[in-house]
Structure 1
Amino acid sequence: MADPATPTMPDPPEVPNPIQSSVDLHLMELSAIRQSLVENRGNVLAVVTFPKNGSPKPRACDVQAWDKDLHIRMSYDKLMCLGSSKIASMFRPKAQERFRRRLNLGMLPTGVDYVLDFTPPAEGPELADLTAMLWLPRICKLWFLAGHYIPNEILAAGGGVPQRPMADKAVGCVLSLGHDDVCSADNCLKDLCEWATKNSVRGIYDENPLDYETHLPPFRKVPDYCPIRHRVAIMRVLRAINGHGLLINSAVRMWTVAQVAIYLEVPEVVVDPITQWLTAPPNTKFVEICPERAFQLAYALRIPTVLIASFKILVNDAAIDYAATDPSPRLPSKTWAQRRRDDYGDFPSDPVDYGSRALLERINSQLQIFQSDMVFDLLLPKSSEWGKLQNIASVLENLKDPHPLKDAYGKLVKSLVHTFRTGIDAAFKIRTSLYHHQLLTEERRHYVSAQELVDIDVIYDKLNSTQKALTPIFWRALRITDWKSQYANAILEGHSTVHYIAVFNKELCRAIINKEIGDPRNIFFGMGTHLGFAQDDFFNSVRDCVQVICERMRNRDNDRNFPYFLSDHLLLSLEDSELKYLPIWADGLDDESGGVFQEVIPPAEMGPSEPGPAYHTGYTIASSTNRGGDTEIGDYASTIAPSDFGMNGLDLDDATVARSVSAQRSASAVTDGPGPNATRVVAAPSEIASEQFTDDNDDDRDYAEAAFAQPADHQAQGQALARYVEDVPSSSASSTTDFSDLGDFDAADHQQGEDDMMEFSDDDGTSTLDGYEELDPWSAEI
């Protein structure tokens, strides 16, 4: 019996079970979506309807069917402040009439001024676009395995890499173990082991189908596109607009919500929760295993951290393939480390392609320096032993040939350069250390099955020198090179560099004693405590210089904002020459230009050819005249004329003829024919100022001549918009319509007045978000 005087200790607080907490959040979020109608604030009623036919009804994890339409009240001002043209178009009178007819709303509820039907269309091109956007990438369907897979402990910390907390942990169940909004299980939540880690899961990839079924229950088989998932994701985005929390507990939900927000042109609504999902360790492995999809999302949602992190991976992987001895026209389906590539979309100027080629050029430049006879001139400071050695070269020119000092100097220089190259070549042959071999193997086990996994050293041996220099394996080997031992053991013509140093110093002393050369202090030799070439100082300077280069190549201090766990086989130290192809907002400097990689506009010497961006450069010639048909990115061969401006091919008596329409027409006719010296556009004489069109400088006539001038082949016709430049007679009634008396013209008001005349009898109500049947002839978008 306990002593009544002895105080009893209270029971320790119960630690929440993370799995149970994840399940509770999953169910609470489903309940909140269904109860959105209780919000009566806002003068806009947003509706998402569900298919009413079909049996059995699709059900969620709470065993309730998705058969009731979802409603939510919203604020008109808040919706319009989002700046979405798609949402704004839904407030047009014609769209409002269609929504009310489709939803059978003869009378709007009290306090509601507008009704918006966000239901996806049942058919048509709009549905095709939406389906393509919401089609799940392979990695999203497999990412639940990240919540089950337990990585090796070597990933967290050890010799050779910084400590990486969470690297050896499975992704938390609250981030990865949610699943589709349609649950095919009777009760997927009754067995919580499906939300726990599993030793049977060996990686985040498709295994052998026979083995894969052991940890792929039916409710985890998510379809590529699901109309129910699409509708629920729309409601999640609408709730986020209203300020409610957005729970993202699976890659499936993350991708779907992001694409819905992008399509509705409200990406800023979901940026924060998706950024948190992508950058929460160890879920950051999603970016490393599938950087293509991470890059695509980060570009569309403007997430700088994820964009730069994925860009570095894509650039390095592509650069290694571009550096292949026999590169293929298209990138292989797998990277050199066997990571399966995915698609990241199309870009007018592909930043990954340009960045990878810039990286390859930088690495090639560094290797060329290493192989150059002037390597020490380019790498070592003038105050080094090499710099002092070069100072004696001018003195040796005064010695007669042959001279033992000149011979010793030549052999020493040759040996120093040769032995350095030998050290570089030796670094290319060094494989990974035992620790790094195991580390890289365990990292690659995340996304490469045991049946397909090839030893990293076997793969590395097949790379050429440039490809190896694009990996940290080479720079790690070069950094630990013992240059003193290298120069002691490397042999050139039967002797080591140490031997050539001794011979040179001996001959130098003899020349000084014999007074064949002057005081060595006058030629900066013998500075310090030694006389001659100090080999230890030279070896140390080479070591320090090489280590600085290696550290710069392997530097990842700028990755502190994003923890890489699986990328120790990649060279991620990109510089400005590669990163400049990303948009400006990636560095936090958004000038709304969209990016820094833009073509330079050629100079416009002869003014505009018409209202708008079309200009006469004045010196346009054919590419074949200047470059032989070869064009390169960024070149404007067609706008660079030879020194005579191509005038030698024309028979002109007066320079003023070059400014006449007839002369330019005749020039065009002459030069359209074959001939190696053909030119396309007559240029103005060089003595005329660029802003001057005529000698008398009549402004009206200057602009008229520029507007009606015959443009080059690649320029638009100025006469096409001539009526906007001058009052040109036209037989078309529409061309003479005068809107000057209408005052402030409002296209939306005009559209409202035209609605009765533009009623479409074939409206089947299937398209919702500004479909093709709602074309607005007064809209600037047309």
Structure 2
Amino acid sequence: MLSQQLAQQRAESQELPPPSDPTPAPRGSLLDAAIDQLLKDQPSEDDANYVFKSREKSDLTRLLHVHVECNDGDTLVIVNFPPGYSSCSREEWTSKRFCVHSERLLATGSKVFANLLSPKEQARFQKRLELAGETVSQRFIIDLTPSAEGDDLAAQLIELSLPPGVTDWWTSKERLGISPYLVSGHDDHCPHHDEVPIDCVKKTSYIQQNLGLRERLPTIDLVDIKTIKSRAIDDYCPIRHRVNIVRLLLAIEGYDLVLNSASRVYTLTSIASILDCTRVIRDSVYTWLLAEPNTEFIDINAEVAFKIAWTLEIDSITRAAFRILVVEKALDTLAAQPPAQKDRYTVFGRPRVDLPDDLQTVVQYAAQKLADRVHQTLAKFRSDQFYNGLKISEYRQFAEVGDIIRTAISTGSSPNSGQSTLRTDSIRDKLLTRLLDSFSTLYTKLQEYKDYIIQTAMHAVAEYDQQSAYDRDRRCYVEHPRRIPTSLIASNFTDAQHLLTPWFWVYLASYPIDYLGPCYPVEFLALYVDDFNDRLTEATPYLDGGGSYGKSANCFHLENFRIELHAAVTNLWITWTNSELEVPLTRTEHIVLALSEDEFQYLPLWAGGLNDGSGGVFQSTVPDADLGPIGPGPAYCTGNTVATDTSSICQSDKTPSEVSTATLTAGRSVNAVPSNIGPSTVHDGTSASVSDSRVSFTPAASTTGSTATLDRDDSDGYESDDSDEIDEEAWSQVEEPLT
């Protein structure tokens, strides 16, 4: 009978049945899906029996008796269970056979399901049943029982093993105030159901503290939590694996997907990736991650969130977690010596977990790009072209006066006077010499002031309330024995590392307006400015006969300089620290997260990057040959070449037209999520909003005779001081020269 049925099935069709809708349904708006999901009724957090509410009960009942729920599809699904494992209802988990619809499996776009439903695989399944003496009435049969041995088992053990941050996330219900509906669910193998706590079990040494509103979270330190056997679930569980295979198939059939724990979210994501049907759970997982304050899962378990979002192609969460990982890795790169436990903990103590090699490569390249940008910005800070780079017109005019003074002295007359260079004028020579000395002194003091405010900002620490907030945030993942105050950690930073802390930029931006502080420019420069202006007034008739370079034009206006400097460093502060975060990140405010497009380029196209899978973003750009090959032989000599700087602080390695094309291709679309992060404020109360934080920079020629130069850059807040600057749109129209 079975052989006749098999022969009849083969005769009926040699190909798969066309799905009812062969084109996968569009993703739609993840934000809309999240809002719809969050609007559903949730059990009260005050109800200790919340796990017995309708959704959890129906989920468990449906899984235990799935053959009753699903019995009308054309595809028989087999998932065999090992014996001896209990569920929350104390029923033993048994092997499952239930029916689903083949067209729904195919509509997921899964190549795995397409292969399992192919004639070749179906013949193999039917042969196995025939040898076992079984007959089935369904048209298709698929066996999704995980492998019991071999390479497949090893690979799935690695993919499905839970990181510690996932297994311990149930404690966030009490520690961080996250709804138990999202994090307190039991494991699928639950032999001690009645003993599974919802709140943390405290050690006898725990002393409850009466904390203020701002200090109440986290409410309990990690070292004060007692390990409970019923919550100490295995990294890998064969029951968890199989139950979530069934749960995923039910989601494909349209049943409600209940995500009530981090372990379930992680396991379902891995299984959906293995079965190539991640679109089925994408919106549900996005909703789970976005339900505040559960967004703190991204801050605290950045590697896990990055892997989940990458697997499910959730662009906003991928980018948010990527920001954290890249900055933390860059801090290691910029350290004077490699941190002792950099593979286990970040410099601020957050526990790390391993990423897959491909994801680790992406983070490493972006972190090196960020480190390059930091080094080049620091070099500009130390350069005597600092003020030119910030495009401070008062300083530029001051430098031009220096050129006029030197010209007048070298020619023996005013540039426009036409007097003989042989004529001796002792008064004129004396006044010009004194003016040049005063100019040189003020020039030196301006450089000293720049060095002073930068170095002072590097040694500054956040205000007490802000330090407390940073330390409180770090208590979420750093237990007491290894907890070091944030300010003490930063005190050992290199100059380069300080540029990745927010308080450095806050203080640097505040100095030009802090009139009571030692870094106020008037206090530091006024004496030298007055002396220069007095000398200039005396010597002006000998510069150009009192013409266009009169007193009003040439005097150094200290107030104008101060205002321009404040605007410039505020722009740097905004560029480096203020970013429109894709999702709220509330536990990582002690590091800057404003990556540039040069760092984001390593992300895939769907996440707004330029990584199309070809590996091109990981390769250095070859310098353009200005004069072509030189000399005989096979060697390629470029002669004069255009210098290439692969640092992310400089202009992108891609031409404007290439970047524009890639942007149009990739869409560069990020689902921005409203957050509770507002505009940052300088400590004196002035606020600055973020608009476009990327400002191009082109170095100007030195006007003071200095040989120092700056590299070009479009990502660190510097602006061009060249009046002949060509904008990006114009560059995109320039054609290559004919050869």
TM-score by length of 2: 0.69
Q: For 2:470 and 2:45, how far apart are their aligned partners in 1?
A: 35
Q: Do structure 1's residue 580 and structure 2's residue 597 form an aligned pair?
A: no
Whether the 8 Å CA contact 1:99–1:115 is kept in 2: the answer is yes
1:462 is aligned to 492
Q: Do structure 1's residue 181 and structure 2's residue 188 form an aligned pair?
A: yes
One-letter code of the match for 2:470? L
Whether the 8 Å CA contact 2:512–2:519 is kept in 1: the answer is no
1:710 is aligned to none
Q: For 2:45 and 2:494, how far apart are their aligned partners in 1?
A: 54
The alignment of Structure 1 onto Structure 2 pairs a total of residues equal to 558
Q: Do structure 1's residue 503 and structure 2's residue 531 form an aligned pair?
A: yes
One-letter code of the match for 2:530? A
Aligned-pair distance for 1:643? 3.0
TM-aligned CA distance change 1:65 to 1:645, over 3 Å = farther
Q: For 2:565 and 2:198, how far apart are their aligned partners in 1?
A: 60
One-letter code of the match for 1:398? A
2:72 alignment partner, SS class? coil
Aligned-pair distance for 1:193? 6.0
One-letter code of the match for 1:81? A
TM-aligned CA distance change 1:223 to 1:411, over 3 Å = same
1:217 is aligned to 228
Q: For 2:375 and 2:153, how far apart are their aligned partners in 1?
A: 48
Q: Do structure 1's residue 568 and structure 2's residue 589 form an aligned pair?
A: yes
1:71 alignment partner, SS class? strand
1:167-206 to 2 correspondence within 5 Å?
Answer: 170-185=177-192, 187-188=194-195
Aligned-pair distance for 1:260? 0.7
Q: C-alpha deviations, 1:618-665, integer Å up to 9, x for none?
A: xxxxxxxxxxxxxxx45599xx99634625xxxxxxxxxxxxxxxxxx
1:654 is aligned to none
Aligned-pair distance for 1:387? 2.5
2:552 alignment partner, SS class? coil
Aligned-pair distance for 1:71? 2.9
2:693 is aligned to none
1:347 alignment partner, SS class? helix
Decide which of 431, 455, 478 is 1:448's aligned counterpart.
Answer: 478
TM-aligned CA distance change 1:200 to 1:483, over 3 Å = closer
TM-aligned CA distance change 1:116 to 1:538, over 3 Å = same
Question: Gapped runs of 5+ residues in structure 1?
Answer: 1-13, 151-169, 601-632, 648-678, 682-782
Compare CA radii of gyration and give the structure with the larger one. Answer: 1
1:471-550 to 2 correspondence within 5 Å?
Answer: 471-482=501-512, 496-512=524-540, 515-518=541-544, 522-523=548-549, 526-527=552-553, 532-550=555-573
Aligned-pair distance for 1:26? 2.1
2:548 alignment partner, SS class? helix
1:711-722 to 2 correspondence within 5 Å?
Answer: none
One-letter code of the match for 2:573? C
Decide which of 51, 68, 72 is 2:82's aligned counterpart.
Answer: 51
Q: For 1:222 and 1:443, how far apart are their aligned partners in 2?
A: 27
Aligned-pair distance for 1:245? 1.7
Aligned-pair distance for 1:348? 8.2
Q: For 1:525 and 1:583, how far apart are their aligned partners in 2?
A: 58
Q: Do structure 1's residue 385 and structure 2's residue 391 form an aligned pair?
A: no
Q: For 1:506 and 1:500, how far apart are their aligned partners in 2?
A: 10
Q: Do structure 1's residue 79 and structure 2's residue 102 form an aligned pair?
A: no
One-letter code of the match for 1:282? P
1:649-688 to 2 correspondence within 5 Å?
Answer: none
Aligned-pair distance for 1:550? 0.8
Aligned-pair distance for 1:544? 1.6
Q: For 1:35 and 1:267, how far apart are their aligned partners in 2?
A: 25
1:598 alignment partner, SS class? helix
Aligned-pair distance for 1:523? 3.1
TM-aligned CA distance change 1:586 to 1:596, over 3 Å = farther
1:769 is aligned to none
Q: For 2:518 and 2:558, how far apart are their aligned partners in 1?
A: 10
Cα RMSD (Å) of the superposition? 3.4
Q: Do structure 1's residue 136 and structure 2's residue 162 form an aligned pair?
A: yes
Whether the 8 Å CA contact 2:511–2:519 is kept in 1: the answer is no
2:4 is aligned to none
Aligned-pair distance for 1:77? 2.2
Q: For 1:490 and 1:549, how far apart are their aligned partners in 2?
A: 18
Q: For 1:171 and 1:195, how far apart are their aligned partners in 2?
A: 17
One-letter code of the match for 2:96? L
2:194 alignment partner, SS class? coil
2:408 is aligned to 398
2:344 alignment partner, SS class? coil
1:316 is aligned to 327
Whether the 8 Å CA contact 2:45–2:179 is kept in 1: the answer is no
1:398 alignment partner, SS class? helix
Q: Taking every aligned residue pair, what percent have the same amino acid on both sides? A: 26
1:760-775 to 2 correspondence within 5 Å?
Answer: none
Aligned-pair distance for 1:273? 1.0
1:283 alignment partner, SS class? coil
Q: C-alpha deviations, 1:236-281, integer Å up to 9, x for none?
A: 1111111222111001111111111101111111111111112221
Aligned-pair distance for 1:46? 1.1
Q: For 1:271 and 1:125, how far apart are their aligned partners in 2?
A: 28
2:90 is aligned to 63
Aligned-pair distance for 1:317? 0.5
One-letter code of the match for 1:336? V
Q: Do structure 1's residue 551 and structure 2's residue 556 form an aligned pair?
A: no
Whether the 8 Å CA contact 1:203–1:449 is kept in 2: the answer is no
2:78 alignment partner, SS class? strand
Task: Name whichever of 72-81 and 479-488 sits farther off.
Answer: 479-488
Whether the 8 Å CA contact 1:581–1:597 is kept in 2: the answer is no
1:45 alignment partner, SS class? strand
Q: For 1:143 and 1:643, how far apart are their aligned partners in 2?
A: 64
Q: C-alpha deviations, 1:297-341, integer Å up to 9, x for none?
A: 221211111110111001100111101123369944211111111
Aligned-pair distance for 1:137? 0.9
Q: For 1:505 and 1:178, how far apart are their aligned partners in 2?
A: 74
1:264-303 to 2 correspondence within 5 Å?
Answer: 264-303=275-314
Decide which of 145, 149, 160 is 1:119's aligned counterpart.
Answer: 145
1:84-95 to 2 correspondence within 5 Å?
Answer: 84-95=110-121
Q: For 2:107 and 2:586, how far apart are their aligned partners in 1?
A: 40
Q: For 1:46 and 1:510, how far apart are their aligned partners in 2?
A: 97
Q: C-alpha deviations, 1:62-107, integer Å up to 9, x for none?
A: 121102x223322222222333232222224453344345557756
Q: For 1:538 and 1:135, how far apart are their aligned partners in 2?
A: 59
Q: Do structure 1's residue 598 and structure 2's residue 626 form an aligned pair?
A: no
1:687-698 to 2 correspondence within 5 Å?
Answer: none
Q: For 2:314 and 2:389, how far apart are their aligned partners in 1?
A: 39
2:733 is aligned to none
